[in-house]
Chains A and B, each alone.
Chain A
Amino acid sequence: MGLEMKDKITRRNFIKASLGTALSLSLPHMGLSDLFAQTLREKEIIPDLAVVTDGDAALMTRQAIELLGGMRRFVSKGDVVVVKPNIGWDRSPEQAADTNPQVVAEVVKLCLESGAKKVKVFDRSCNTANRCYEHSGIKKAASDAGAEVSYVVDAGFSKMKLPQGEVLKQWPLYKPALEADILINVPIAKNHGLTYLTMGIKNLMGIMGGDRGKIHWSIDDKLADLANFVRPQLTILDAYRILVKNGPQGGSLKDVRMKKTIIAGTQIATVDAYGATLFGMKPAGLKHIVKSSKLGLGEIDLSKVNIKKVSLG
């Protein structure tokens, strides 16, 4: 299936998908259902990438996960899940500098519905943390959805060796994020001065401690090394609103575009590659995405990717 092909929910597709989901749900968890998901993916019933458009932010999120085989594919009963949104800036949801709170809340709900023991939400903010947590609306939305929203504490960082790191070999990382059973990366798609765009891969900087400023020197390679080490199991890109200028914190509503799109996938580079197209950019022109792909974090030639598109409009 190519990028251009846009699936409608036909009866056959619907039955295929729901049968697949139902089967995967009914099977005992872990190994077998993973195996089953694998088979379903090979038979192109579960796509590599789910793209849902033109709906309510929460509904689109739910639908996107559903297309990927449901949250139960990722979250098992009793799991501790970390949902990592972008809460970097003291901005309102309309300004599209932080992940949409409704998307975060919906991911939290899906995890809890799938039997997660605990869902933690945090990010190391660039502005003062409490201002970002409040103003972004994420603190309230996520805790109302049942998540444990916490501020990042210094004691949580410990210096990690990145054995496969080519440029980034060692860095303090946030232990609670790495120790979770499942890490779900929930970035927002934004413009960025240096990497051109910031999406899934760059969002992982939020679990880095230390002086992150230094990361910006040869940033593309460092980000790829980081993503290769962290490897979140699922990346859900919030492109409900995207920031096309003055990123990553914007400020003016003139720089915000309504895209009403949610992109979900297990391969972080693939998700970002699709995200780039929303800005009219070619993934091949974004070095950090290319490098990540080379490290095995996902196909970025979108013609080779099995994309399932659903419009709720």
Chain B
Amino acid sequence: MKTVRRISQILFLLFFFFLFLAATYPLKIKIPVDLFLRMDPLIALSAMVSARAFVETFIWAIFVVALTIPLGRFFCGWVCPLGTTLDVTSFVFKNKAGKSYPRFKYIKHMILIFLLIGAIFSSQLFWFFDPVALFTRSIALSIWPIITLISSSIFGLAFKLASYPDWLSRVHNLFSSTLLPDQLTFFRMSGWVLLIFLAILVAEFVSRRFWCRYLCPLGALLAFFSKFQIWRRRVASDCTDCAVCQNVCKMDAIKSDFRLTDDVECIQCYDCVKDCSPHVTTINFKGKVQPCKFDLGRRRVLTSAAAGLVSVGILKTNFVGRNQTAALIRPPGSRDEEDFLDRCIRCHECVKVCSTSGRFLQPTFLEAGLEGLWTPVGVARYGYCEFNCTLCTEVCPTDAIHVLDVKTKKKWIIGIAYIDRDRCIPFYKNENCLVCQEHCPTSPKAIELKDEKVLHFDGTERLVKRPYMIEDLCIGCGICETKCPVAGKSAIIITPQNEQRWVD
């Protein structure tokens, strides 16, 4: 069974990566690419608490909860892509089960309560702790760009060395837009995201599954649902007290009496069953169903609830988030800012999929306030919102970005461009340029060129084509800002003026 479990883990991890790579233009795949996020009960809880409503995309998560009730934390042991990554890390480095900190086990439950109380008062921090969101984010913002950078450097070198052979371009075409993006992709914040991810991996050297044992609020939630599980570890009375099981248990779920299990901690990995030399340990459905004992203690509950309230205070009262002038261009179809922040779990599926299209979206740092940390925002100097593209709206698991059809999207206003005449060449230099007008995708164009006779500063008269904005036509896609040939700050800039937000 241990082998079966490993196969399951590997298959789910590969499936995760397959879906991750499938989140690319043209997104023809029938399976939702955010499937893992949709089957995460913690994200479901977060989204539903925020929305104060049932969100139907999370039918998968309900399915997982339904299975957790009889099967316990099988998700952690058999499915979770972060869990598998941790197991692979330990397998590679031959990590031992490591130190045990029994009192730390409560931390994850406290985090869960902390998050829940915060969410009820509309300060959503699930995004930071949810393992599937965290894993998706780490891969999207940090790992994937590194892989693509390496692979495209290899291709670049090979192209140069072998002087552009055709078989190589064929291989290149094969990988382009999956492993190789159309253009190289870089994200802000990728270093910070990577640091957190690495910290979780390094903790694996202290104790195996350190994250899962002590910190993961999803684990805590699944533990809550697995109180009445029937798929349990059972040890026959002729146990020889050899302690092997306790030493191999990566979840520290075996008590000092080796016959007893902390069932809500057990992830049914079958390591103890495999290593039990007298073959007295099994995990099965036989035996009486007794609710597992679990008591967090009143003081801990109150502490974490209070911390949740404090978090509301810290996140909700800071100035920047309330600042109307914050120049944030949100993805098309985004909900009202409050609702958007409540729902966005920073999985960065939208940012990833956008990087294969217009490369518009980037994570924020503090532009949206502490509350809006790492939320997706359009950075038009770097990329732009592709006119015919609706990909980001299609991959959002929590509906923070609502699905738009192409027709609606083409008219959806995310901002308005304005021309900085002090920097715009036809204005300050009296020379023709037009790049912004050429790229403007609306029809008729939101940028119009007017022939003007102007007096140049040397006294001569010149005929120059100058761009003018037609505000009613501009949708704020930002391609003008991206393509503006003026070095540094663009001479045409989009602001969230007139922006539309999705309201149910």
A155 engages B438 (CB within 8 Å): no
Which of chain A's residues 171-192 have a Cβ closer than 8 Å to chain B? Answer: 175-176, 179, 192
A193 touches B465 (CB 8 A): yes
| Residues 416-441 of B contacting A (Cβ, < 8 Å) | 425, 431-435, 437-439, 441
Contact of A192 among B438, B443, B485 (CB under 8 A): B438
Q: In the complex, given contacts A127-B387, A153-B169, A255-B443, what are 12 additional A-B residue pairs having Cβ atoms less than 8 angstroms apart?
A: A127-B386, A128-B357, A130-B356, A131-B388, A135-B388, A149-B173, A155-B159, A193-B438, A216-B438, A217-B432, A251-B387, A251-B441
Q: Is the CB of A151 within 8 A of B176?
A: yes
Question: When the two chains form their complex, are residues A216 and B485 in contact, meaning their CB atoms are under 8 A apart?
Answer: yes
Q: How far is the CB of B430 from chain A (nearest CB, A)?
A: 12
- Determine how close the nearest CB of chain A comes to the CB of B367; give it in whole angstroms: 25
A216 lies within 8 A of B358 (CB): no
A153 CA to B157 CA, complexed, in Å = 11
Alpha-carbon distance between A69 and B73 when the two chains are bound, in angstroms: 76
Give chain B interface residues in 446-504, CB to chain A under 8 Å.
449, 465, 483-485
* A252 located at the interface, meaning its Cβ lies under 8 Å from any Cβ of chain B in the complex: yes
- Name which residue of chain B comes closest to A176, CB basis: B164
Return chain A residues, CB-CB under 8 Å to B238.
none
Q: Cβ of A128 and Cβ of B433 under 8 Å apart?
A: no
Indicate with 1 or 0, residue by residue over A225-251, a CB within 8 angstroms of chain B CB atoms. 000000000000000000001101111
| A43 contacts the other chain (CB 8 A) | no
A246 & B444 in contact (Cβ 8 Å cutoff): yes
B160 at interface (Cβ–Cβ under 8 A)?
yes
The answer to whether B444 touches A216, judged by C-beta atoms less than 8 angstroms apart, is no
A175 (CB) vs chain B CBs: closest residue: B164
Determine the interface band of chain A, counting residues with CB < 8 A from chain B.
35 or more
A216: B residues at CB distance < 8 A? 432-435, 438, 485
User: Which residues of the other chain, A, contact B176 by a CB distance below 8 angstroms?
Assistant: 130, 151
Assess whether B128 is interfacial by the CB under 8 Å rule. no
With both beta carbons as reference points, the residue of chain B lying nearest to A150 in the complex is identified as B169
Query: B445: CB under 8 A from chain A?
Result: yes
B residues near A130, Cβ cutoff 8 Å: 25-26, 176-177, 182, 356
List chain A residues, Cβ under 8 A from B159: 153, 155-156
Q: How far is the CB of B476 from chain A (nearest CB, A)?
A: 17
Query: How far, in Å, is A199 (CB) from chain B's closest CB?
Result: 15
Query: Hey, which chain B residues are within 8 Å of A211, CB to CB?
Result: 485
Secondary structure at the B interface, as helix, strand, loop or mixed, is loop
- List the A residue with the shortest CB-CB distance to B156: A155
**Residues in chain B near residue A34, CB distance under 8 A:** none
Q: Which of A127, A150, A156, A250 has the most CB of B within 10 A?
A: A127
Q: Which residues of B pack against A, CB within 8 Å?
A: 25-26, 152, 155-157, 159-160, 164, 166, 169-170, 172-173, 176-177, 182-184, 356-359, 386-389, 425, 431-435, 437-439, 441-445, 449, 465, 483-485
Q: Pick the contact of B387 from A90, A154, A155 — CB < 8 Å? A: A90
Q: Quick one: which of A93-122 are within 8 Å of B by CB?
A: 118
Residues in B with CB closer than 8 Å to A134 are 26
Hey, which bits of chain A sit against chain B, CB under 8 A?
A: 90, 118, 126-131, 134-135, 148-151, 153-156, 175-176, 179, 192-194, 211, 213-214, 216-219, 245-246, 248-252, 255
| Chain A positions within 8 Å of B388 at CB level | 90, 131, 135
Given A148-B169, A251-B442, residue A128 in contact with residue B484 (CB < 8 A): no
CB distance from A176 to the nearest CB of B (A): 6
* Contact A252 to B443, CB < 8 A, known contacts A90-B386, A148-B166: yes
The 8 Å CB contact of A150, one of B172, B183, B441, B449, is B172
| Closest beta carbon of chain A to B36's beta carbon, Å | 25
| 30 pairs from A and B in contact (CB 8 Å cutoff) | A90-B388, A118-B166, A126-B439, A126-B483, A127-B387, A128-B25, A128-B359, A128-B386, A130-B26, A130-B176, A130-B356, A131-B389, A149-B173, A154-B184, A155-B159, A175-B164, A194-B434, A211-B485, A216-B434, A216-B438, A216-B485, A217-B425, A217-B485, A218-B431, A219-B432, A245-B444, A246-B443, A248-B438, A249-B438, A252-B443
Q: Which chain B residues border A251 with CB–CB below 8 Å?
A: 387, 441-443
Contact of A129 among B182, B432, B439 (CB under 8 A): B182
Q: Complex formed: what's the CA distance from A295 to B444 in Å?
A: 36
Q: Tell me how far the C-beta of A212 lies from the nearest C-beta in chain B, rounded to whole angstroms.
A: 8
Residues of B near A153 (CB, < 8 A) are 155-156, 159, 169, 172
Chain A residue nearest to B164 (CB atoms) is A176
Contacts of A246 in B (CB 8 A): 443-445
Q: Which residues of A contact B439 (CB under 8 A)?
A: 126, 249
Contacts A118-B166, A128-B25, A217-B432; A194 near B443 (Cβ below 8 A): no
Residues of B within 8 A of A128 (CB): 25, 182, 356-359, 386
